[in-house]
Every structure is written in structure tokens, then in C-alpha cells.
Amino acid sequence: MKYPQLKLENQICHRLYMASNSVVRAYRDALNQLDLTYPQYVVMMALWEEDKVSIAQLLEKTMVDGGAMTQILKKMADKQLLAVVKGETDKRKRVVKLQPHGLQLQQQAADIPEKIRCQFPSINEQEAALLISLLDKLNTDLS
């Protein structure tokens, strides 16, 4: 090969792409039972951590694209998981708050992280912590 730097096996980005796709696939069965997509699950986790947040706060917490977030919130509102309402102090701001069905879903989702973690038996806890640290550095560098 004329340019070995272009070989797929030399690319960090391709490994991240493959891992991302594999992880999302690993979540599929568990999330199908909750009638959630992975991006919707990310939004739910953020709201379970802190309910009644502005859309701007939700975008910052999840790092979901703004255009995608609009569609995600609409679909989740249609499922009665959450509501997007006017802010109490500033009526121009929109606040996202969980509905009873969205709150109830948290209990059903509680075992998902452990189910997914069990699918990575060759990565021990120390390596998982290192991976999280390295990915956080990567995301910081790229943002």
C-alpha cells in the first residue's frame, strides 16, 4: 500500500466507530422492551439524574445534536414519557420534565447497565475505568 497511514487497522477513529455500533446493538434488545431507542435512553438517563431541566441543559448533558434532540423530545412526548413546557421564570425557555410513565420506566431500566457490562467479560473494572478516562479525554480534546 502506498500510504500505510490510510490502512483501516491503523485508525483509532474506525475502532471507535465499530465499538459505538457494537455497543448500540448490545443495548437494542433491552431498550426494545422499554420501547426506547439508544438516544432516547440517553435522554431518559439525563432526566432521571435531574428532572425539570431546560433543553439547553439537556443538550449540554447528553451532547445530542440540537436538531436530533427536537425529534427525540417530540417522539418521547408522544409516548407520554416527558413533557416540554414553558419555563416558570422565563416563558421563552422550554423545560423538559418527566411524566409518570417516564418516572416508572427508571425502575424497569435499572438493570440495563449491568446487563450491558456483562457483555464485556474481557474488560476488568480497572480497564473499564481507564477506558472511560481515555474516552473523556478524547471527547474533551474534540469539543
- Residue 130 maps to which CATH number? 1.10.10.10
pLDDT at 45: 96
pLDDT at 1: 81
pLDDT at 88: 76
- In whole angstroms, how large is the CA radius of gyration of the chain? 18
pLDDT at 27: 94
pTM of this structure? 0.88
Please state the domain count of the chain.
1
Nearest partner of 70 among 105, 96, 104, 38, judged by Cα: 96
**Which residue do the cell numbers 443495548 mark?**
27
Per-residue pLDDT of 5-28, as tens digits, reads 899 888 999 999 999 999 999 999
Cell of 37: 431507542
Range of the domain at 90: 4-142
| pLDDT higher than 90, residue 47 | yes
Nearest partner of 58 among 73, 80, 77, 36, judged by Cα: 73
Which of helix, strand or coil describes residue 87? coil
